[in-house]
Amino acid sequence: MRNTTVDRVLFTLILYLNLLLSTSEGFAQHYEIRAYKIQVLMDSGEKLKGMLSGVSESTLYVEDKRRDIIRIPLAAIRKAKLIDVNNVPSRMIIGAILGGLVIGYVAYLGNSRSPGGSRSPVLGGISIALGAGAGAGFGALLGKFTAGIGRAHFVFRANGDPKSVAQLYHLLEPYSETFQKDVLNNGPN
């Protein structure tokens, strides 16, 4: 016979943990500089990738893999795609916790349904621990590969006219590293 009290406690624990993890960013203010990856398609057809370092009214500054700063004129940009890369670790942690809880609970249910309760408690504990570990690993992988879903990014298509260049500058400025540093340094002390 199944123990419904344990089922309710585990369900309530999963529910509260999910609620806590999904709203944890709203409890505290984070003063950190967020990194954004940018992919740029030039008018010449050349593609550039890197981290958004800064932007001025006429130039985009992109840091490549060798940590060199590349200067790109805003008027020469045909398309710019901004990608938020900051949410991958948090999605991996949430995926690991939820995956471990779900698969661990399924392993618990499988152990409690054995005929006549013939399994020893040690084997039951081992199967629950291994199931939770496998679920955590699978959940972390799933969290890593689904981190791109719903992340803040935009694609901007420019045509080279001054209005388009000014719009691109105003769109990219809040995401640049130099702008974020200026805001943090000039904030209230």
pLDDT digits 0-9 by tens, 143-163: 888 776 655 567 777 776 788
Cα radius of gyration rounded to whole Å, the chain:
24
Residues in Cβ contact with 125 at an 8 Å cutoff, skipping those fewer than 6 apart:
none
Residue 126 has pLDDT above 70, yes or no: yes
CA-nearest of 187, 188, 159, 156 to 173 is 156
Residues in Cβ contact with 14 at an 8 Å cutoff, skipping those fewer than 6 apart:
98, 101, 102, 105
Token pair 């500089």 is found at 33
pLDDT in tens, 3-48: 677 777 777 777 776 666 665 555 555 567 777 888 888 888 899 8
CB 104 within 8 A of CB 132: yes
pTM above 0.85, yes or no: no
29-33, Cβ contacts within 8 angstroms, sequence gap of 24 or more: 31/184, 31/187, 33/177, 33/180, 33/181, 33/184
pLDDT in tens, 174-188: 888 888 888 777 765
Looking at domain 31-86+152-189, which of 2.30.30.30, 1.10.3720.10, 2.30.30.100, 3.40.50.10790 is its CATH number?
2.30.30.100
Q: Cα(174)–Cα(54) distance, rounded to whole angstroms? A: 9
Average pLDDT over residues 61-87: 84
Domain boundaries, the chain: 1-27+88-150, 31-86+152-189
59 three-class SS: strand
pLDDT confidence bin for 119, thresholds 50/70/90: low
Determine the pLDDT at residue 93. Answer: 87
Average pLDDT over residues 72-81: 86
Strands, sheet with 77-84, edge to edge from the N-terminal-most edge strand? 69-73, 59-63, 47-55, 36-42, 77-84, 153-157
Calculate ∠ Cα 82-21-93, nearest 5°. Answer: 65
Residue 52 CA, distance from chain mean position: 17
Residues in the chain, overall count? 189
Average pLDDT over all residues of the chain: 79
Average pLDDT over residues 131-137: 89
